[in-house]
Structure formats: C-alpha cells, structure tokens
Amino acid sequence: MPIQPGTPAPDFTLKTKGPEGLRDVRLSDELGKRNVVLLFFPAAFTGVCTQEMCDATQFGEFQKDGTVVYGISADTPWAQEHWAKLHDIGVTLLSDYRREVARAYDCVWPDLAGLGPSAARASFVVDREGVVRYAEQTPAPSDSPNFEAIRAALASL
C-alpha cells in the first residue's frame, strides 16, 4: 500500500540523463515553487510503461499551471534516455536504480515476472508544501494509472 494522502512526501535525489549529461533532480528543489506528479513504473521498453509515459507526455495541462511530472523506474538513466528518444517521451525520467525511493513511497512489486523487485505502477500528487495530496497504486503492473483522478487532484490544489 503506497503512502497515503496527507503524508509528507519523502524527499529524494535521483539521476536523470539528457543531452547535457547526468544531473541530479531533488524533490525538495521543487517545493515552494510548483506541484509535482510522480509516476512510478516497473520497466522501460515494456508496452504498458511506454503507453503510460507517452500518455503522460500528452497531458500538457499538467505543466501549464507550473506542475512538473517525473517518471520514476529502476532502469539506468542511460536506458531511460534511449527509451525516451525512441518513443518521444517528454516526461523527465528519474533513475531509482537502488529502488530506495520506491521503498520510501511504499510502492514496490516484490517480484516482477520472476526478475526480482521493481517499482509498482503508482502515482502521487505532491503539493507545493511537500504534502502528498493523491496516491494510487494499480492492482497489477498491466493496469494504467487513473489520469482523470490525477487531473482532478491537481485541479483541487
């Protein structure tokens, strides 16, 4: 069960990879400035995860109010960068290679297809003050997040 609304969002620092190279992204750097959507997903280069990140890319309204959207998986930043280029994914992807952030948000699948632990498909809306206002973990890795509920949570902030 993921951490619940009303809970302070655990801070983190994760790597992302872009044309400029590796850089750190810290949740605390966003606080006080904008709302944050965190989309945990099990693995790059899989059908449902590709669809999820492509769908999230299409939700431009997430960003028009200053909201930032991050996709988080245990894939390496280099794999995430390649995957994003292949599919025109416009969401900033963050590497939780050690699965520490997924554990902090309590959204880990213990065994994904016999390959060991992975991030569950989970979504969180964190307000500018750093409080989780929406939390969802899908029942199965093959399920998509509820983007309508995420949109409604953002509209209520």
**Which residues are the active-site residues?**
49
Which pair of tokens denotes residue 33?
């400035």
CB 83 within 8 A of CB 95: no
Q: How far apart (Å, rounded) are the C-alpha atoms in residues 71 and 37?
A: 8
Q: How far apart (Å, rounded) are the C-alpha atoms in residues 93 and 9?
A: 18
CB 127 within 8 A of CB 35: yes
The string of DSSP letters for 82-129 reads HHHHHHT--SEEEE-TT-HHHHHTT-EES-STTS--EE-SEEEEE-TT
Q: Which residues are registered as beta bridge partners of 125?
A: 37, 134
